[in-house]
């Protein structure tokens, strides 16, 4: 009976979603991006603000909404914003990365306009050009579920958005210059909570209430372990997927990842009159550092008392792998997508191709550079999406990029992988280095079906989770390890595939997926070209004048 009710609800909700697409409710934001001097961790630094805020305002929308964000650039440099984890259905024109868009020049403004379709959850936005993320410019994104789409947990009494990340005293232009000069990023100077140093950010709890904490790691390089003194967390969401609920005492969050946990406030007379620490401490790092925020109950003294939860052993990868693999999709719920979680059996779809992406350091270069399959990414003068649209010659060289690790001499190149629309692709990320990686694909979520130490081989397929792997958009790859994902290429466009680690990304660890119909008649009656037209207000640059 319950299943029938859920089924009917799902049907209703899908109908409602269709209607809402037609009526397209919208939300609009006007964001001024500017510099300001701020004292953070006791040192002055020029940070990037949005509407005078660091972090920027929370972007709130409901699945189905059309979102308009008018960005007014008051910096002295070009600017672009990306929407980390939002799928920008068929609209890579609106994904503010250098390969798809011309930059918004200083003193000018440009309006992003996109519809959020079939996805709900927690994400964040950040600036993508010129290492600006090291100065801020980021903020949280909440996508709510439409009224009638069931959410698999009771409505929380409140929500908090928590952005954690490493912070560096150095001006972002200085950091950029040292990367340009071949130096690696230094050790961070601290860990921030919503732009604040230790014990400056606090979250007010009322006894007995349940809160949803939407947490993202917005830092440049550091994996963080998140935990709360004397409070357990119920993990419910990973980058837009509802997961099998699990109680955790701590959670590893790698650069670029987002999670939601539910935390229930204490009711006992002593416990509900205290303050508690929230920790975000470095993992897999030589120098231990921790960010500290506070939970405060009504009339509680500011300073927490009592024992604090121990940090996991910093270099204990095995426990982190176990935790990652234990995060599973909740197949019993329908999310706001045409194929409710669970009704789409990704494990039964035939794989159309395998791509192996191996990151490395470019040893032949006299400056520090990073490669994928031996190619270190360099930008053409015209964004790839525009070059493709206007069919400019000599920008995208088909098949230049090897889709398997290559033992050719490392080189520079503009890596674009052509992928046929609706192909079902198996991708293996191989990390032969002693530092963990974090991979992200714009425009998509993918199923994380396998993860292991050592090299990948065909025999690993036998161990894949083909039933309830989590679907997400950013996955860490541990040192000397591999990760396998499956991805349904149902979103046409030019999509950035990148290291979420700022240094690796800035120095060449990225590529683009060009997902297109092949123009052949499709027997399933699926349009072969199915993409938003070029926006009327598109910016010109490079060879498009």
Given a contact cutoff of 8 angstroms between Cβ atoms, the answer to whether 289 and 219 are in contact is no
Nearer to ligand NAG, 100 or 217 (CB): 100
Residues, the chain: 545
Nearer to ligand NAG, 105 or 234 (CB): 105
CB of 232 to ligand NAG, least distance (A): 41
Residues 153-172 that bind ligand NAG (CB under 6 A): none
Going by DSSP bridges, is the β-strand pair 375-377/411-413 parallel, antiparallel, or unpaired?
A: parallel
Rounded to whole angstroms, how far apart are CA atoms 129 and 237? 29
Stretch that binds ligand NAG, among 104-112, 170-178, 333-341, 462-470 (CB under 6 A): 104-112
Nearer to ligand NAG, 110 or 226 (CB): 110
Following CA atoms 523, 528, 531, 533 in sequence, which dihedral angle do they give, to the nearest 10 degrees? Answer: -130
DSSP conformation letters of 301-351: -SS--S--PPPPPTT-HHHHHHHHHH-BB-TTS--SSSS-TTTS-GGGSPP
Q: Count the residues of the shown chain that bind ligand NAG, applying the rule CB under 6 A.
A: 6
DSSP conformation letters of 52-85: TBSS---EEEETT-EEEEEEEE-SSS-B-EEEET
Buried b / exposed e over 402-439, threshold 16 CB at 10 Å, is bbebeeeebeebbbbbebebbeebbbbbbbebebbbbb
CB of 483 to ligand NAG, least distance (A): 24
Q: Is 406 helix (H, G, I), strand (E, B) or coil?
A: coil
Nearer to ligand NAG, 59 or 293 (CB): 59
Stretch that binds ligand NAG, among 105-113, 141-149, 407-415, 438-446 (CB under 6 A): 105-113
Nearer to ligand NAG, 68 or 272 (CB): 68
Burial class (CB in 10 A: 0-12, 13-18, 19+), 64: buried
- Among all chains, which residue has been given the structure tokens 């040292």? 178
CB of 348 to ligand NAG, least distance (A): 6
Stretch that binds ligand NAG, among 106-114, 362-370, 394-402, 492-500 (CB under 6 A): 106-114
Rounded to whole angstroms, how far apart are CA atoms 90 and 181? 38
Rounded to whole angstroms, how far apart are CA atoms 516 and 492? 5
- Please tell me whether residue 459 binds ligand NAG under the rule CB under 6 A: no
CB of 428 to ligand NAG, least distance (A): 20
Nearer to ligand NAG, 111 or 290 (CB): 111
- Please tell me whether residue 51 binds ligand NAG under the rule CB under 6 A: no
- Please tell me whether residue 145 binds ligand NAG under the rule CB under 6 A: no
Rounded to whole angstroms, how far apart are CA atoms 251 and 249? 7
Given a contact cutoff of 8 angstroms between Cβ atoms, the answer to whether 94 and 113 are in contact is yes
Burial class (CB in 10 A: 0-12, 13-18, 19+), 483: buried
76, 299, 350, 366: which one binds ligand NAG (CB under 6 A): 350
Chain centroid to Cα 193, Å, comes to 18
Nearer to ligand NAG, 95 or 330 (CB): 95
Minimal CB distance to ligand NAG: which residue? Answer: 111
Given a contact cutoff of 8 angstroms between Cβ atoms, the answer to whether 414 and 397 are in contact is yes
- Please tell me whether residue 70 binds ligand NAG under the rule CB under 6 A: yes
- Please tell me whether residue 399 binds ligand NAG under the rule CB under 6 A: no
21, 111, 354, 532: which one binds ligand NAG (CB under 6 A): 111
- Please tell me whether residue 68 binds ligand NAG under the rule CB under 6 A: no
34, 46, 51, 109: which one binds ligand NAG (CB under 6 A): 109
CB of 110 to ligand NAG, least distance (A): 5
- Please tell me whether residue 537 binds ligand NAG under the rule CB under 6 A: yes
Nearer to ligand NAG, 30 or 180 (CB): 30
Stretch that binds ligand NAG, among 103-111, 243-251, 338-346, 475-483 (CB under 6 A): 103-111
Residues 6+ apart with CB under 8 A from 139: 50, 53, 55, 56, 57, 58, 59, 124, 125, 163
The torsion angles phi and psi of 84, rounded to 5 degrees, stand at -65, 110
CB of 156 to ligand NAG, least distance (A): 35
Tokens of 498: 């990148």
CB of 93 to ligand NAG, least distance (A): 13
Taking alpha carbons only, the member of 504, 472, 442, 435 closest to residue 223 is: 435
CB of 79 to ligand NAG, least distance (A): 13
Stretch that binds ligand NAG, among 39-47, 107-115, 195-203, 273-281 (CB under 6 A): 107-115
Interface positions with ligand NAG (CB under 6 A): 70, 109-111, 350, 537
């Amino acid at each position: 009976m319950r299943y029938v009710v859920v089924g009917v609800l799902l049907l209703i909700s899908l109908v409602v979603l269709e209607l809402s697409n037609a009526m397209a409710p919208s939300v609009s934001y006007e964001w001024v991006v500017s510099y300001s001097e701020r004292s953070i961790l006791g040192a002055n630094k020029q940070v990037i603000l949005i509407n005078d805020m660091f972090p920027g305002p929370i972007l709130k929308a409901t699945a189905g909404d059309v979102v308009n964000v008018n960005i007014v650039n008051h910096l002295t440099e070009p600017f672009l914003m990306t929407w980390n984890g939002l799928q920008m259905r068929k609209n890579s024109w609106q994904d503010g990365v250098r390969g798809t868009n011309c930059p918004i020049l200083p003193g000018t403004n440009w309006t992003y306009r996109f519809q959020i379709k079939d996805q709900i959850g927690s994400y964040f936005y950040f600036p993508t050009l010129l290492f600006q993320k090291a100065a801020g410019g980021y903020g949280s994104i909440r996508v709510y579920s439409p009224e009638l789409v069931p959410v698999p947990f009771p409505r929380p009494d409140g929500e908090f958005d928590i952005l954690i990340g490493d912070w560096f005293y150095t001006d972002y232009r200085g950091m950029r210059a040292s990367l340009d000069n071949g130096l690696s990023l230094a050790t961070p100077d601290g860990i921030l909570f919503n732009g604040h140093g230790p014990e400056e950010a606090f979250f007010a709890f009322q006894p007995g209430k349940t809160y949803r904490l939407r947490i993202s790691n917005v830092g440049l390089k550091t994996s963080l372990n998140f935990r709360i003194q004397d409070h357990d967390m119920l993990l419910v969401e990973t980058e837009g997927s509802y997961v099998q609920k699990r109680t955790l005492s701590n959670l590893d969050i790698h650069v670029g990842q987002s999670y939601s946990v539910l935390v229930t406030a204490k009711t006992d007379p002593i416990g509900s009159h205290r303050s508690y620490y929230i920790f975000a401490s470095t993992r897999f790092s030589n120098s231990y550092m921790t960010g500290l925020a506070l939970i405060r109950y009504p009339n509680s003294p500011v300073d927490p008392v009592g024992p604090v939860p121990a940090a996991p052993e910093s270099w204990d990868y095995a426990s982190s792998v176990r935790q990652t693999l234990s995060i599973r999709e909740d197949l019993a719920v329908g999310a706001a997508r045409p194929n409710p979680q669970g009704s789409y059996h990704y494990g039964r779809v035939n794989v159309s191709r395998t791509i192996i992406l191996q990151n490395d350091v470019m040893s032949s270069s006299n400056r520090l550079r990073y490669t994928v399959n031996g190619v270190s990414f360099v930008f053409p003068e015209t964004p790839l999406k525009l070059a493709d649209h206007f069919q400019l010659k000599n920008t995208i060289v088909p098949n230049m990029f090897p889709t398997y690790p290559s033992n050719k001499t490392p080189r520079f190149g503009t890596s674009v992988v052509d992928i046929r629309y609706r192909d079902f692709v198996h991708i293996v990320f191989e990390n032969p280095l002693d530092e963990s990686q974090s991979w992200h694909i714009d425009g998509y979520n993918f199923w994380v079906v396998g993860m292991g130490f050592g090299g990948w081989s065909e025999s690993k397929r036998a161990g894949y989770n083909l039933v309830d792997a989590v679907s997400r958009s950013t996955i860490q790859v541990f040192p000397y390890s591999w990760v396998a994902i499956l991805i349904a290429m149902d979103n046409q466009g030019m999509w950035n595939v990148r290291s979420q680690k700022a240094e690796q990304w800035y120095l060449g660890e990225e590529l683009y997926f060009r997902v297109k119909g092949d123009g052949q008649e499709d027997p399933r009656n699926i349009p072969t070209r199915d993409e938003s037209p070029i926006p009327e207000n598109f910016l010109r640059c490079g060879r498009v004048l």
